């Protein structure tokens, strides 16, 4: 074969190497959501790429076979076709034929390696990063064809790779989620900072993720704060209780707070009072609807599903001993995702209120997580972990006794002061947040 033909073969082999290098980066880095959207529209190439991505070990083995073959033949053809003419030129130097041949082989190998790295690896991979979708779709067919004809070799390589990885402790090699939760939250944070999504939208998605981790106990109204009606209370007295509290549903209790007889709905009460005036004197438990009960450690997402299935907006929360721990409403659950939901009957009350820069007044029932989210802090920055969930509970846990007005607790950058009490419960806390730089300057 003439020298020009051999050079053409080398160029073709370099192009094949570049193709596989670009295909590898493109297929691995392409956005799956984009491919799935195209596949749903009937794009065959997108479906082919998704099938390849289902077995990444086989895909990488197929590409590696192509790269190895292209590199091998490039080196072989180059050594045969270019080393000999170059050696004839080097003989003119004060070198023996053996020295000229060896030097020519070194120069050809180094030159082909350099060209292969630049044109066969770096350039195509860089292009693939910037045009991943286009190159991945264009590569789908050839890669699928190559996977079929090299199936025995690929199977052998994949099997050996799987055995080695399992020996290293990888239980299911090749089965990796396309996007992890942490990556998604990081991407969301970057999108919010760059303005692709608003801060409110980002916070909504983050709260939805956190909603899957919390339990009913975190969201519920505790037993001590429940407003109830006695089972023997007359319907007229129940009407007055509804007017006083502004609530639309009240648990009906019997002989003890743990004896829940049902849930009294204001619309039922008004209907009976309007249609049957004589019912005013009857005990209200006769008009209560059956209560829905949930364990306190039920995931919030499951509780939300239960309320929807039972077509109710309130459930009684039960502790591990069967006693009443509190109650949870549909509104309470939804507020953990979308934030405070206020209507025209809700009092103008903020459980977290900023009264000065870096100073907040916080309801003692507010969860510690909610306070930390407001201040954009991590629990690790407090220097301790707590069993209690509410701010008031954390103060009690730190003091080791019932708090009193004026008691203070220092938690990392947070200075907490008890401002008011309601019995043994912390009602109001003043929180002073010291920024990290202020804390460091104070300690110097």
| Domain-embedded: residue 25 | yes
> Do 207 and 356 have their domain in common?
no
Q: According to the 3-state scheme, what is the secondary structure of the chain?
A: CCHHHHHHHHHHHHHHHHHHHHHHHHHHHCCHHHHHHHHHCCCHHHHHHHHHHHCHHHHHHHHHHHHHHHHHHHHHHHHHHCHHHHHHHHCCCCCCHHHHHHHHHHHHHHHHHHHHHHHHHHHHHHHHHHCHHHHHHHHHHHHHHHHHHCHHHHHHHHHHHHHHHHHCCCCCCCCCCCCCHHHHHHHHHHHHHHCCCCHHHHHHHHHHHHHCCCEHHHHCEEHHHCCCEECCCEHHHHHHHHHHHCCCEEEEECCCCCCEEEEEEHHHHHHHHHHCHHHHHCEHHHHCECCCEEECCCEHHHHHHHHHHCCCCEEEEECCCCCEEEEEEHHHHHHHHHCCCCCCCCCCCCCEEEEECCEEEEECCCEHHHHHHHHCCCHHHHCCCCCCCEHHHHHHHHHCCCCCCCCEEEECCEEEEEEEEECCEEEEEEEEECCHHHHHHHHC
| Domain-embedded: residue 432 | yes
The token pair at 318 is 């039960």
Residue 313: predicted pLDDT: 92
> Do 145 and 17 have their domain in common?
yes
> Do 163 and 50 have their domain in common?
yes
> Do 77 and 159 have their domain in common?
yes
> Do 7 and 134 have their domain in common?
yes
> Do 17 and 59 have their domain in common?
yes
| Domain-embedded: residue 156 | yes
Task: Return the CATH number at 327.
Answer: 3.10.580.10
Residues in the chain with pLDDT values less than 50: 173-174, 437, 439-444
Q: Identify whether the C-beta of residue 222 lies closer than 8 Å to the C-beta of residue 303.
A: no
The residues with which 390 forms a beta bridge, in sequence order, are: 367
Task: Return the CATH number at 376.
Answer: 3.30.465.10
> Do 26 and 160 have their domain in common?
yes
CA angle 403, 406, 412 (to 5 degrees): 80
Q: Identify whether the C-beta of residue 294 lies closer than 8 Å to the C-beta of residue 316.
A: yes
> Do 304 and 411 have their domain in common?
no
Among 167, 195, 229, the domain boundary falls at 167
Query: How far separated are the first and last CA of the chain, in Å rounded?
Result: 80
| Domain-embedded: residue 388 | yes
> Do 220 and 274 have their domain in common?
yes
Residue 404: predicted pLDDT: 92
Among 338, 372, 405, the domain boundary falls at 338
Q: Report the domain count for the chain.
A: 4
Residue 440: predicted pLDDT: 47
Residue 231: predicted pLDDT: 92
> Do 101 and 186 have their domain in common?
no
What tens digit of pLDDT does each residue of 212-267 get? 788 898 889 888 889 999 999 998 999 999 988 888 899 999 988 899 999 999 99
> Do 329 and 436 have their domain in common?
no
Residue 388: predicted pLDDT: 84
| Domain-embedded: residue 306 | yes
> Do 398 and 300 have their domain in common?
no
- Domain extent for 88: 3-167
Q: Identify whether the C-beta of residue 294 lies closer than 8 Å to the C-beta of residue 317.
A: yes
| Domain-embedded: residue 174 | no
**How far, in Å, CA of 358 to CA of 375, rounded?**
9
Among 315, 338, 361, the domain boundary falls at 338
Decide: pTM greater than 0.85. Answer: no
Residue 69: predicted pLDDT: 80
| Domain-embedded: residue 241 | yes
| Domain-embedded: residue 137 | yes
Which long-range CB contacts under 8 A does 236-240 form with residues at least 24 apart?
A: 236/273, 236/280, 236/281, 237/284, 238/264, 238/269, 238/284, 239/269, 239/270, 239/273, 239/280
């Amino acid at each position: 074969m003439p020298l020009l033909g051999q050079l053409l073969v080398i160029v073709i082999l370099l192009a094949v190497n570049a193709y596989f290098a670009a295909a590898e980066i493109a297929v691995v880095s392409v956005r799956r959501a984009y491919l799935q959207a195209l596949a749903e529209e009937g794009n065959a190439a997108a479906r082919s790429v998704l099938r390849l991505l289902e077995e990444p070990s086989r895909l990488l083995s197929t590409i590696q076979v192509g790269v190895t073959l292209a590199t091998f033949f490039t080196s072989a053809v180059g050594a045969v076709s270019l080393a000999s003419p170059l050696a004839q030129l080097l003989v003119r130097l004060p070198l023996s034929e053996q020295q000229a041949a060896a030097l020519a082989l070194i120069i050809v190998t180094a030159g082909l390696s350099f060209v292969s790295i630049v044109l066969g690896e770096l350039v195509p991979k860089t292009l693939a990063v910037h045009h991943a979708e286009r190159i991945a779709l264009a590569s789908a067919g050839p890669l699928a064809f190559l996977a079929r004809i090299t199936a025995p070799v690929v199977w052998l390589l994949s099997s050996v790779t799987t055995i080695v990885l399992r020996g290293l402790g990888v239980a299911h090699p090749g089965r990796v989620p396309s996007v992890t939760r942490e990556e998604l939250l990081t991407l969301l944070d970057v999108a919010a900072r760059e303005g692709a999504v608003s801060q409110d939208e980002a916070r909504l998605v983050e709260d939805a993720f956190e909603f899957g981790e919390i339990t009913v106990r975190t969201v519920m109204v505790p037993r001590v704060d429940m407003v109830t009606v006695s089972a023997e209370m007359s319907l007229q007295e129940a009407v007055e209780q509804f007017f006083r509290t502004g609530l639309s549903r009240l648990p009906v209790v019997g002989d003890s707070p743990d004896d829940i007889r049902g849930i009294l709905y204001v619309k039922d009460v008004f209907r009976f009072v309007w249609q049957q005036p004589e019912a005013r004197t009857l005990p209200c438990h006769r008009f209560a609807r059956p209560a829905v009960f949930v364990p306190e450690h039920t995931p919030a997402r499951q509780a939300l599903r239960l309320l929807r299935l039972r077509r109710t907006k309130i459930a009684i929360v039960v502790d591990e001993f069967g006693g009443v721990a509190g109650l949870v409403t549909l509104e309470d659950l939804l507020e953990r995702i979308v934030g405070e939901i206020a209507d025209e009957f809700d009092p103008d009350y903020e459980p977290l209120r900023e009264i000065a820069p870096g100073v907040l007044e916080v309801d003692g029932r507010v969860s510690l997580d909610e306070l930390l989210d407001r201040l954009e802090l991590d629990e690790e920055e407090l220097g301790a972990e707590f069993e209690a969930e509410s701010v008031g509970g954390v103060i009690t846990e730190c003091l080791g006794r019932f708090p009193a007005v004026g008691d203070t607790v220092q938690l990392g950058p947070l200075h907490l002061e008890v401002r008011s009490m309601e019995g043994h419960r912390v009602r109001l806390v003043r929180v002073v947040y010291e920024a990290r730089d202020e804390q460091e300057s104070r300690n110097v």
